[in-house]
Amino acid sequence: MSPFPGHPGNEHAMHDDKHNHQRIRLEAVSKAWSGQTAVERISFEVAPGEFVILLGPSGCGKSTTLRMIAGLEQASAGRIHIGERDVTDLPPGDRGISMVFQSYALFPHLSVADNIVFGLRSRKVPRAERQERLTRVARLVDLEAYLARKPAQLSGGQRQRVALARAIISEHPICLMDEPLSNLDARLRGEMRREIKALQRRLGMTVIYVTHDQVEAMSMGDRVILMEAGCIVQDGTPGELYNRPATAFAASFIGSPAMNLVALSAAADGAVIDGEPHCSIASHEAKGHLLGVRPEDIAILPIEAPGVPGEVIDAEYLGADSIVRLKVGSQELRARIDGVPEVGAGSPCRLQWPPSAAHFFSTGDGQRLALQGYDLAAGPGRLAQKQSMHRNEARTSPTQAGNDSPGVNR
């Protein structure tokens, strides 16, 4: 069940085009093992030629969803359609899909060539055509020189290519990939990311790609479906996931370092960061909820500037940028700034972020709230006024009163 009102899962009016046989549609699909629910009533649709990512932490049901589409796992409830066909009860071989496994699933006793044409032999493709397709695909994935080798004689990246070739040669319009890059080292992973994406574009494949790596999701996906505990949390483009996370979970899952999520408490002038009563950052409706700010949206300014007062805890220099840990009231934030931080540990500072960079989430179910943040760059006069007006109201903060130490406020 999608929390999204505008979710395409139930819109039947969408099929029109000639590629309709490639459209994948899941309707309220569930999977349970002896009472344990792994996937709960999820619905989504994948258009032909789309690269869709199933993203989520381990155990969120993304692999199970993929395996149900493949037919390797029987859905406990719901229907799966590929094009016009209801494939829910069809065996995997009749669904017209290929799959790349995390372990590559290469046959260790067969040569690379035999591995690639394995499926063609099962489908009784004539020898000449087999050979012709093999030559073409081997060139496509750059394996021509390795066709006679056994998988054990290949590097990880080459094995990955064999698995890809096996999926491509079947010429099925749909390819499912289950964490195909997680066994590769970081450098190779980046290379293969681009390669897979380029192949998909070139061949016009429909790809459903399971990963727990947000970098893969953001860089490869036309659309990302974020899952948590067997349900879809958000379904949108990488940009939407980054810019408008639907829940606090989505906010914390995308981005590196993750989005700061801080508790808000009430002050006379609006909601303030818990333990920092002087600078209200949003209207009263936001109090008691969570504020989300991406580290890269935070600007660290000298103490004279307007903004939220904070204190630098420490800084981590990463080369192109630095991650600065900051203490604001009782909360801790991380900011990502270019180059070397100019502020030392323990020094007070002011923080600013654009109003559009402030996200608000309900503390109860984590859902996004339609609230706007205040403009923190507004003149110091307003800030000074606020500070003098509400100096004594810090102790009345309704939440986390125990953490509320006025001593840190300046």
Partner 1 sequence: MVIHNADRRMQIYGALLLLPAAVLLGTFAYLPTVATLINSFFLPGFRGAPPEFVGLENYAMLVEDRTFWRVARNNLIYALGTIPTSIALALGMALFVNARLPGRGLVRMAYFTPTILPMIAAANIWMFFYAPQIGLFNKLLGALGMSGINWLGDPGVALTSVIAMTVWKEAGFFMIFYLAALQSIPPELEEASVLEGTSRWSFFWRVTFPLLMPTTLFVLINALINAVRVVDHLFILTKGGPNNATNLLLYYVYENAFSFFDRTYAATITVVILLVLAVVATLKFTVLDRRTHYQ
Secondary structure, 3-state, 262-322? EEEEEECCEEEECCCCCCEEECHHHCCCEEEECHHHCEEECCCCCCEEEEEEEEEECCCEE
> Which residue is associated with the tokens 């939407």?
240
Taking CB under 8 A as the binding criterion, the range among 106-114, 224-232, 276-284, 294-302 that sits at the site for partner 1 is 106-114
Taking CB under 8 A as the binding criterion, the range among 27-35, 37-45, 121-129, 358-366 that sits at the site for partner 1 is 121-129
Q: Which amino acid is at 408?
A: V
* Rounded (5°) CA angle 196-259-290: 140
Q: Is 179 exposed, middle or buried (0-12, 13-18, 19+ CB in 10 A)?
A: buried
Q: Should residue 126 be labelled a site residue for partner 1 when binding is judged by CB under 8 A?
A: no
Q: Which is nearer to partner 1, 170 or 352 (CB)?
A: 170
Of the candidates 10, 59, 107, 215, which one interacts with partner 1 according to CB under 8 A? 107
Of the candidates 10, 103, 237, 385, which one interacts with partner 1 according to CB under 8 A? 103
CA distance 253 to 275: 26
Q: Which is nearer to partner 1, 90 or 258 (CB)?
A: 90
Q: Should residue 123 be labelled a site residue for partner 1 when binding is judged by CB under 8 A?
A: yes
- Give me 65's structure tokens: 């969803």
Q: Should residue 168 be labelled a site residue for partner 1 when binding is judged by CB under 8 A?
A: no
- Give me 196's structure tokens: 């897979």
* Rounded (5°) CA angle 210-238-174: 40
Q: Which is nearer to partner 1, 107 or 317 (CB)?
A: 107
41 three-class SS:
strand
Of the candidates 5, 6, 35, 91, which one interacts with partner 1 according to CB under 8 A? 91
Q: Which is nearer to partner 1, 105 or 215 (CB)?
A: 105
Q: Should residue 105 be labelled a site residue for partner 1 when binding is judged by CB under 8 A?
A: yes
Taking CB under 8 A as the binding criterion, the range among 9-17, 102-110, 267-275, 279-287 that sits at the site for partner 1 is 102-110
Nearest distance from residue 167's CB to partner 1, in Å?
9
Nearest distance from residue 117's CB to partner 1, in Å?
10
Considering only CA atoms, give the Rg of the chain.
Answer: 26
Residue 52's H or E segment, with its range, is strand 51-55
> Strand order of the sheet with strand 97-100?
97-100, 174-178, 206-211, 51-55, 223-228, 231-236
Of the candidates 21, 85, 109, 136, which one interacts with partner 1 according to CB under 8 A? 109
Among 273, 271, 290, CA closest to 282: 271
Q: Should residue 85 be labelled a site residue for partner 1 when binding is judged by CB under 8 A?
A: no
Task: Tell me the site size for partner 1, rule CB under 8 A.
Answer: 25
Q: Should residue 133 be labelled a site residue for partner 1 when binding is judged by CB under 8 A?
A: no
Site string for partner 1, 45-84 (x = CB under 8 A): -------------------------xxx------------
Q: Should residue 156 be labelled a site residue for partner 1 when binding is judged by CB under 8 A?
A: no
Q: Should residue 122 be labelled a site residue for partner 1 when binding is judged by CB under 8 A?
A: yes
User: Could you tell me if 61 and 74 are in contact, meaning their C-beta atoms sit under 8 angstroms apart?
Assistant: no
Q: Which is nearer to partner 1, 41 or 95 (CB)?
A: 95
Q: Should residue 257 be labelled a site residue for partner 1 when binding is judged by CB under 8 A?
A: no
- Give me 328's structure tokens: 């604001």
Q: Should residue 25 be labelled a site residue for partner 1 when binding is judged by CB under 8 A?
A: no
- Which residues of this protein are in contact with partner 1, per CB under 8 A? 70-72, 91-94, 97-99, 101, 103, 105, 107-109, 118-119, 121-123, 150, 152, 166, 170
